[in-house]
Each structure stands twice: as structure tokens, then as C-alpha cells.
Amino acid sequence: MNLNIVLVNPEIPQNTGNVARTCAALGATLHLIEPLGFSLEDRFLKRAGVDYWSQVSVRLHPTVDSVFEISDPTARFFATARGSIVYSDLRYPDPCWLFFGPESTGLPDSLLLQNTGNVVRLPMREGTRSLNLSNAVAVLAYEVFRSRGFPGLKRAASAVNVRRLTR
């Protein structure tokens, strides 16, 4: 499965670090659109990504248009709390590109209006504004893999000694 996570102008290094961990777990490529709200050398970014940075392919892009040049329009999905399509109602293509906006504002309306057929949302209770960026990325990224039977991922864990865990 070729999954691409695109963070447009991310602002919080810890969120980007957590997204990097999700990308490492799935083998997804992380695309960061400038400007970033932090330095890639930020200690919080590195701490949140723990020791997974060497397992993540990170690509830096100057604009969203530069990502559009390398991706198929039918394979792009834009996550927003204002979306009309529930994320789990889709079958995602391979490759797949998931776009997420900055923590403070989300994706710009102009981008959403240009892509109305591919704007997805996570259902939430009335009165909640949004999920944390890294949580939203994890939910959508794992849905892409779940909908295809988790290709390339280890599905069965070793038996756990429950007795040992309860001591």
C-alpha cells in the first residue's frame, strides 16, 4: 500500500512527531508543506517521533501545488471537520494521498472547494470542534489500511502472558 500523509503548514512539532511515528508504523511517506511552524531540528519534534525518524520517508515541499504535480487528483483526500463524506464510507485507492491542515485553522476553504468530491470528515459529537491532528491522521491512515486488509502489516501478535501483566 502506497500511503502518503500530507501536512499543510503544520504548526506544532509534537503533532508532526507523532504523525511521523504513525507513518513509520505503516510505511507511509510523510510530506510536509512549508512554511512549517517549527524547525525540523526541533527537540520536541524529535522527542515525539522517538527513535522512528530513521524509518520514515519525509519529503519537504514549498507549496501544495508541488504535491499536486506528483499525485493523481482522484487519489487525494482532504480531512476537515466540515467535510461531507464520512471517512469510513470510502474505498481508498492505491496510492492514496491524505491531506491535513494546520492545527489552528485546518485546510483552507479554497483547497476544499476545489476538491469537494474528496473532502472527508471524522464524525464527532455536536459541539466538538475537531480532533488533535495526530489523532485524526492515525484514524484515517489506519482506515486506509483496514479497508484493504492491512496489506504489508503484521496482523497477529505473539500470545501475551496475561498473568504476568496482572502482577
Kindly tell me if the per-residue pLDDT of 76 is higher than 70: yes
Q: Are 25 and 152 in contact (CB under 8 A)?
A: no
Kindly tell me if the per-residue pLDDT of 155 is higher than 90: no
Query: What's the N-to-C CA distance of the chain in angstroms?
Result: 40
Instruction: Report d(CA 146, CA 141) in Å as an integer.
Output: 9
Kindly tell me if the per-residue pLDDT of 50 is higher than 70: no
Name the residue ranges covered by the structural domains of the chain.
3-165
Q: By three-state DSSP, how is residue 119 classified?
A: strand
Buried b (16+ CB within 10 A) or exposed e, 117-141: ebbbbbeeeeeeebeebbebbbebb
Which region holds residue 146: left if phi is over 0, alpha if psi is between -120 and 50, else beta? Answer: alpha
Instruction: Report d(CA 123, CA 116) in Å as an integer.
Output: 17
CATH fold, domain 3-165, is Alpha/beta knot (3.40.1280)
Q: Where are the alpha helices (DSSP H) in 50-117?
A: 64-68, 109-114
Mean pLDDT, rounded, for 107-136: 93
Residue 54: predicted pLDDT = 84
Residue 151: predicted pLDDT = 87
pTM over 0.85: yes
Kindly tell me the sign of the dihedral angle through the C-alpha atoms of 85, 88, 89, 93. positive
